[in-house]
């Protein structure tokens, strides 16, 4: 297959390596080194897309990231990726891409009717028309979204690998064009750690396609020598194919590197997100060319002049065979001259300026190219490809039609200031360049080259050397030995008149595009300004200019200039909309990196996890922990399993893995005093060897955490915390010790992970354990602790039970936990021991009325509200004391903890069910709101009670005990009776032990 638009020689492509690819189902060939865009153009394919709103035929416009039109759907199935710029896709063998936003086909698109009826679709049309009436929006939205869709997100899991890499450097250089290379070189020669990131496959920037000589050789020879030196420097890291997308605080820079074309190995990541922390940054991000605004300026075959030159010189592709060049400066002549040298016919150069007397225009004339000055394009023809332009002098006069198949437009250059602006740097309008350039920096960042509107090569090189050296010096490094600037010969260029670029034809009724991707026209900007949206941020939202996935890289400059015109102000006075990360979309997969699947969130497992798993436990998440929730036997439901586990504990013996409980070791001469202040309970009076239930409050008097305080020795305590509260409590203790009471000699050490803990509960627990323990556990009083051996393992033995009734907890070093568990299970066989999970534990404790922090409390519940005020000592200082002393803390109508019994003993209310005074349903309440008096915090079926039980927080709940309230459900109402919050035995055993 031939590539009709490929030159015979030249370009940075490997003509021996032919690559096959498909676009919209048709097969083509390109060469290694091509992008998808250059390969399509080599095959004379310009039409690549339909526009977003009007579905107008669009072609490839640009050379790189600024491309607004040629967004394609890359690959298929699980590998597919939407909205990828064809100009940035490195061609590989077997590539498959499809055009987007067309239906049914690119050449015939029903949505193009939007274009025909476009006088009905002005800026703000959707806002004005479809938001009313509100109820209809949902219906309109579906149709609008189908018409206005971009690419399609993949529906299958992403099969590729992605990762993330942190990197640190002295000097990060963004962009490997002439300025970036010289910056990297001078920084590297100073001995700095340098990272050089560039989005292209090879370094060089504009030197990849501009025909300059450096030091008497083609510029790419200089690029090669610099790259060789950088590659050999031990402290330099070169990141090719790496697009810097975000510049955040404290010189934190995020870049995305592609490895995807073609995939070299199944092990290699497809993309890598770099998180770079740089002491100094040099931005050599270059510039993009500005389009010209004229009627029907969006036909396929109308391209940026620099891009046309780039496709020719870098890829050996002539984008047309008869070319009109429209320019506002000398730069357009480079394209004319390069094309002419390649044998392409130049129909004319249209110079919008009145005078074109510089070196390049002279060269063009000397080659016999017709140069028309002071003229502009007033119309274009050709449906799927431009076929002619009509030109007319600004002064008026005859309109002349020129046949062509390519229009190369050059409206001057727009510095790529996005990253500088993201770094909070201020932008400054450079009147000479007619564009915003970096002004005052707010972070350690420097700019060099065309991002500063330094258009000349020797300026870019000099600025790069200076910026790189200064950055290294700012890192405290000696400046490099005198660097010799390479010698460059380049023609003097006369100034471009960029104000001509956006001028357009005010009288024309044809569309004149300003933002190609968002389909915003010159008329839209005028309309928005007339309707009062004449601040740049308002205009942006009203017209959607700059809100496409390209963020208006190309279009914003003309939008701002047009708005200034509409307001009758000088360009640059109305500011620029803020640039926010990312510079270019980054895929979710790259952002997620490895944090997917089992690595999405860490899972914490107890030492006995494997036993639970192999014995059929169903796990539940408790923070990051996996806890055994229940252990169903064959055919057992959750309910049946939990009822059985509960009864085993009440009548025989059960065993719970309590290892996830937070544990904190407290030592020091002032440990007792410290804990006295931390807990609302008395601690100093606790005798060594004894334990006490403790409540921690926040300074506002509300319950923060609870657990057991065990006094191991005079100056040594062990606290338990809730599973979820372990880290929080440890941090809380450290905060008070370090910031308020540093004089207290106390050391806190979290030891949650050091111990496996097993709760052995039930009437047979003592018979099971006694023979295995080295201490006489029958002699242990309730709420006490002893140190000894259990089954030969050094252990702490606690006599206490969260389930209520007789029970022990055994703590052993975590590496012996599995052994302890299996030994106890074995020894328990003759007692018909049952492992029980967290669900049974919840039922058992609720029967006793024991609270769970986070279930019965939510940060607004005090110990008084919980009926635990008898624990609170008023004769000492503790955190929360002052707040509890407020009259409000004892207000009678606060929500208080009570028990609930449903009228029907088999009715188990859902936790969170609300309670009201009079019978009603949720449907009724929706129509006629009634005051909510409280809600259910815990609710279970209790096998010991043979009925449902619930705990609730109810306004003035204690005073209402014995009364009835109502729980409205969707279609019915449940009557409940308030009781004391305990259903089995005496709840005081743990609390008072």
Partner 1 sequence: MLRIACPWCGARDETEFGYGGEAHVALPADAAQLSDAAWAEYLFMRSNPKGRHRERWVHTHGCRRWFNVVRDTTTERIFAVYLAGSPPAQLPDEPA
Partner 2 sequence: MGDDASMRRFIGRDLVLGECPARACVELRGDPDDASFVRAVRTVTDLPLPLDPGRSAAGLLASILWLGPDRWLVCSDTQAGSDLAASLRAALAAIACAVVDVGAARIVYAVGGSNARAVLAKGCSLDLHERKFPLGHCAQTLLAKAPVLVHLSGAEPTFEIHVARSLRDYAWAWLRAAASEYAAEADDA
User: Can you give the binding site for partner 1, defined by CB under 8 A?
Assistant: 248-252, 277, 424, 442, 699-700, 731, 734-735, 738-740, 742, 877, 881-883, 885-887
**Shortest distance, CB of residue 623 to partner 1, whole angstroms?**
16
Closest CA to 350 of 382, 381, 394: 394
Judged by CB under 8 A, the chain residues 788 through 817 that form the site for partner 2 are 794, 813-817
Q: Which two tokens stand for residue 738?
A: 């370090």
Measured from the CB atom, the residue of 126 and 252 that comes closer to partner 1 is 252
Closest CA to 254 of 587, 548, 550: 587
Measured from the CB atom, the residue of 206 and 245 that comes closer to partner 1 is 245
**Shortest distance, CB of residue 703 to partner 1, whole angstroms?**
16
Closest CA to 252 of 283, 275, 285: 275
Taking contact as CB under 8 A, which single stretch among the options 16-24, 263-271, 633-641, 950-958 is the one that binds partner 2?
263-271
Q: Find how far residue 361's CA is from the centre of its chain.
A: 49
Binding partner of 735, given partner 2, partner 1, none, CB within 5-8 angstroms per partner class:
partner 1
**Shortest distance, CB of residue 470 to partner 1, whole angstroms?**
20
Binding partner of 813, given partner 2, partner 1, none, CB within 5-8 angstroms per partner class:
partner 2
**Shortest distance, CB of residue 648 to partner 2, whole angstroms?**
24
Q: What is the dihedral of CA 828, 833, 836, 841, to 10 degrees?
A: -100
- Interface residue with partner 2 among 113, 485, 599, 770 (CB under 8 A) is 599
Rounded to whole angstroms, the Cα distance separating 858 from 934 reads 13
Taking contact as CB under 8 A, which single stretch among the options 119-127, 409-417, 532-540, 593-601 is the one that binds partner 2?
593-601
Measured from the CB atom, the residue of 559 and 889 that comes closer to partner 1 is 889
**Shortest distance, CB of residue 881 to partner 1, whole angstroms?**
7
**Shortest distance, CB of residue 755 to partner 1, whole angstroms?**
20
* 963 lies in the site for partner 2, by CB under 8 A: no
The H or E element that residue 462 is part of is: helix 457-474
* 728 lies in the site for partner 2, by CB under 8 A: no
Determine contact, residues 972/921, Cβ cutoff 8 Å: yes
Binding partner of 751, given partner 2, partner 1, none, CB within 5-8 angstroms per partner class:
partner 2
Judged by CB under 8 A, the chain residues 607 through 626 that form the site for partner 2 are 607, 610-611, 625
Sequence-ordered list of residues with C-beta below 8 angstroms from that of 795, at least 6 positions apart, any chain: 787, 788, 789, 810, 811, 812, 820
User: Which residues, in sequence order, are bridge partners of residue 30?
Assistant: 19
- DSSP assignments along 1-59, one per residue: ---TTB-SS-SS-EEEEEEEEEETTEEEEEEET-BHHHHHHHTT--EEEE-TTT--EEE
Query: Could you tell me the end-to-end alpha-carbon distance of the chain, in angstroms, rounded to an integer?
Result: 91
Give the angle subtended at the CA of 427 by the CAs of 424 and 429, to the nearest 5°.
175
Binding partner of 883, given partner 1, partner 2, none, CB within 5-8 angstroms per partner class:
partner 1
Number of residues that bind partner 2 (CB under 8 A): 51
Measured from the CB atom, the residue of 273 and 680 that comes closer to partner 2 is 273
Binding partner of 167, given partner 1, partner 2, none, CB within 5-8 angstroms per partner class:
partner 2
Taking contact as CB under 8 A, which single stretch among the options 16-24, 293-301, 661-669, 929-937 is the one that binds partner 2?
661-669
Binding partner of 442, given partner 2, partner 1, none, CB within 5-8 angstroms per partner class:
partner 1
* 269 lies in the site for partner 2, by CB under 8 A: yes
Report helix, strand or coil for 677: helix
Binding partner of 749, given partner 2, partner 1, none, CB within 5-8 angstroms per partner class:
partner 2
* 742 lies in the site for partner 2, by CB under 8 A: no
Binding partner of 248, given partner 2, partner 1, none, CB within 5-8 angstroms per partner class:
partner 1
- Interface residue with partner 2 among 26, 142, 166, 906 (CB under 8 A) is 166
Sequence-ordered list of residues with C-beta below 8 angstroms from that of 796, at least 6 positions apart, any chain: 710, 712, 718, 755, 785, 786, 787, 810, 811
User: Which residues, in sequence order, are bridge partners of residue 489?
Assistant: none
Determine contact, residues 719/695, Cβ cutoff 8 Å: no
- Interface residue with partner 2 among 665, 673, 700, 911 (CB under 8 A) is 665
* 266 lies in the site for partner 2, by CB under 8 A: yes
Rounded to whole angstroms, the Cα distance separating 595 from 162 reads 9
Measured from the CB atom, the residue of 179 and 666 that comes closer to partner 2 is 666
The H or E element that residue 590 is part of is: helix 588-592
Binding partner of 250, given partner 2, partner 1, none, CB within 5-8 angstroms per partner class:
partner 1
What is the dihedral sign for C-alpha 141, 147, 149, 154?
Answer: positive
Report helix, strand or coil for 294: coil
- DSSP assignments along 538-587, one per residue: HHHHHH-TT-STTTTTTTHHHHHHHHHHHHT--TTSS--PPP-S-SS---
Measured from the CB atom, the residue of 648 and 810 that comes closer to partner 2 is 810
Judged by CB under 8 A, the chain residues 272 through 301 that form the site for partner 2 are 275, 277
**Residues found near partner 2 in the complex (CB under 8 A):** 161, 163-168, 193, 265-269, 275, 277, 593-595, 598-599, 601-607, 610-611, 625, 665, 667-669, 745, 747, 749, 751-755, 794, 813-819, 822
């Amino acid at each position: 297959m031939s590539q009709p638009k490929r030159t015979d020689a030249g370009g940075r492509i490997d003509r021996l390596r032919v690559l096959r690819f498909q676009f919209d189902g048709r097969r083509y060939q390109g060469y290694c080194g091509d992008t998808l865009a250059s390969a399509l153009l080599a095959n004379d394919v310009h039409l690549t897309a339909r526009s977003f709103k009007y579905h107008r035929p669009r072609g490839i416009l640009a050379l790189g990231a600024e491309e607004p039109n040629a967004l394609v759907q890359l690959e298929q199935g699980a590998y597919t990726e939407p909205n990828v710029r064809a100009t940035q896709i490195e061609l590989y063998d077997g590539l498959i891409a499809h055009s987007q936003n067309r239906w049914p086909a690119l050449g015939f698109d029903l949505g193009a009717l939007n274009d025909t009826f476009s006088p009905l679709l002005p800026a703000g049309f959707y806002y004005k028309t479809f938001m009313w009436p509100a109820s209809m929006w949902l219906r309109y939205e579906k149709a609008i979204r189908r018409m206005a869709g971009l690419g399609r997100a993949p529906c299958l899991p992403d099969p590729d690998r992605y990762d993330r890499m942190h990197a640190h450097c002295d000097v990060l250089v963004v962009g490997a064009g002439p300025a970036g290379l010289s910056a990297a070189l001078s920084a590297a020669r100073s001995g700095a750690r340098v990272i050089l990131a560039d989005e292209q496959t090879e370094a060089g920037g504009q030197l990849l396609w501009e025909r300059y000589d450096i030091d008497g050789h083609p510029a790419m020879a200089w690029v090669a020598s610099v790259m060789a030196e950088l590659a050999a420097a031990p402290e330099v890291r070169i990141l090719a194919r790496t697009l810097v997308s975000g510049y955040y605080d404290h010189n934190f820079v995020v870049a995305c590197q592609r490895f995807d074309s073609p995939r070299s190995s199944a092990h290699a990541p497809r993309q890598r997100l770099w998180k770079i922390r740089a002491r100094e940054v040099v931005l050599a991000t270059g510039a993009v060319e500005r389009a010209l605004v004229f009627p029907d300026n969006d036909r396929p075959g109308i391209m940026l002049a620099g891009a046309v030159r780039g496709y020719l010189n870098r890829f050996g592709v002539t984008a047309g065979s008869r070319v009109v060049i429209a320019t506002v400066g000398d730069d357009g002549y480079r394209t004319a001259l390069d094309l002419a040298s390649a044998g392409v016919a130049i129909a004319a150069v249209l110079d919008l300026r009145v005078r074109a007397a510089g070196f390049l225009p002279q060269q063009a004339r000397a080659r016999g190219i017709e140069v028309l000055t002071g003229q502009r394009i007033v119309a274009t023809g050709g449906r799927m490809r431009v076929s002619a332009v009509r030109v007319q002098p600004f002064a008026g006069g005859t309109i002349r039609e020129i046949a062509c198949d390519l229009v190369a437009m050059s409206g001057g250059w727009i510095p790529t200031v996005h990253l500088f602006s993201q770094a909070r740097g201020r932008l400054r309008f450079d009147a000479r360049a007619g564009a915003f350039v970096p002004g005052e920096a707010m972070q350690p960042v420097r700019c060099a080259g065309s991002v500063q509107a330094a258009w000349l090569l020797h300026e870019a090189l000099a600025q790069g050397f200076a910026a790189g050296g200064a950055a290294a010096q700012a890192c405290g490094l000696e400046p490099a030995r005198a660097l010799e600037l390479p010698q460059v010969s380049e023609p003097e260029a006369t100034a471009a008149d960029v104000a001509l670029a956006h001028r357009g034809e005010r009288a024309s009724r044809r569309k004149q595009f300003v933002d190609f991707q968002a389909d915003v026209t010159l008329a839209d900007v005028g309309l928005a300004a007339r309707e009062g949206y004449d601040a740049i941020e308002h205009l942006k939202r009203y017209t959607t200019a700059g809100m496409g996935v390209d963020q208006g890289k190309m279009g914003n400059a003309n939008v701002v200039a047009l708005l200034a015109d509409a307001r009758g102000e000088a360009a640059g006075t109305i500011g620029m909309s803020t640039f926010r990360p990312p510079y270019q979309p980054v895929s979710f997969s790259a952002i997620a990196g490895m944090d997917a699947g089992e690595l999405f969130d860490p899972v914490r497992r107890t030492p006995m996890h494997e036993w639970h798993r192999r014995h059929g436990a169903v796990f539940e998440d408790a923070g990051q922990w996996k806890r055994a929730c229940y252990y169903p036997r064959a055919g057992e439901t959750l309910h049946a399993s939990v009822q059985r586990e509960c009864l085993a504990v009440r009548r025989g013996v059960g065993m719970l893995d309590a290892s996830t409980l937070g544990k904190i070791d407290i030592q020091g001469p002032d440990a007792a005093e410290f804990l006295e202040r931390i807990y609302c309970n008395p601690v100093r009076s606790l005798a060594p060897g004894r334990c006490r239930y403790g409540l921690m409050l926040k300074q506002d008097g509300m319950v923060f955490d609870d657990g057991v305080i065990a006094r191991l020795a005079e100056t040594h305590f062990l606290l338990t915390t809730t599973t979820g509260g372990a880290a929080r409590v440890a941090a809380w203790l450290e905060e008070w010790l370090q910031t308020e009471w540093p004089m207290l000699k106390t050391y806190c050490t979290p030891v949650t992970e050091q111990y496996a803990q097993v709760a052995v509960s039930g009437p047979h627990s003592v018979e099971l354990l006694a023979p295995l323990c080295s201490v006489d556990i029958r002699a242990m009083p309730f709420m006490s602790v002893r140190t000894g051996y259990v089954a030969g393992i050094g252990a702490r033995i606690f006599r206490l039970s969260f389930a209520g009734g007789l029970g022990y907890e055994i703590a052993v070093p975590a590496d012996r936990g599995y052994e302890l568990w299996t030994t106890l299970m074995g020894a328990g066989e003759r007692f018909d021991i049952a492992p029980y999970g967290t669900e049974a534990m919840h039922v058992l404790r609720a029967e006793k009325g024991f609270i769970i922090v986070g279930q019965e409390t939510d940060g607004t519940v005090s110990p008084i509200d919980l009926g635990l005020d008898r624990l609170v000592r008023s004769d000492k200082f503790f955190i929360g004391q002052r707040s509890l002393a407020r009259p409000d803390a004892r207000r009678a109508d606060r929500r208080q903890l009570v028990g609930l019994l449903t009228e029907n003993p088999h009715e188990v209310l859902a936790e969170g069910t609300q309670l009201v005074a009079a019978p009603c349903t949720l449907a009724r309440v929706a129509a006629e709101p009634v005051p909510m008096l409280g809600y259910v915090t815990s609710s279970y079926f209790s096998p010991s009670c043979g009925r449902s039980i619930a705990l609730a927080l109810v306004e003035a709940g204690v005073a209402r005990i014995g009364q009835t309230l109502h729980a409205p459900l969707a279609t019915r109402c449940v009557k409940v009776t308030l009781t004391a919050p305990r259903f089995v035995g005496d709840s005081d055993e743990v609390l008072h032990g």
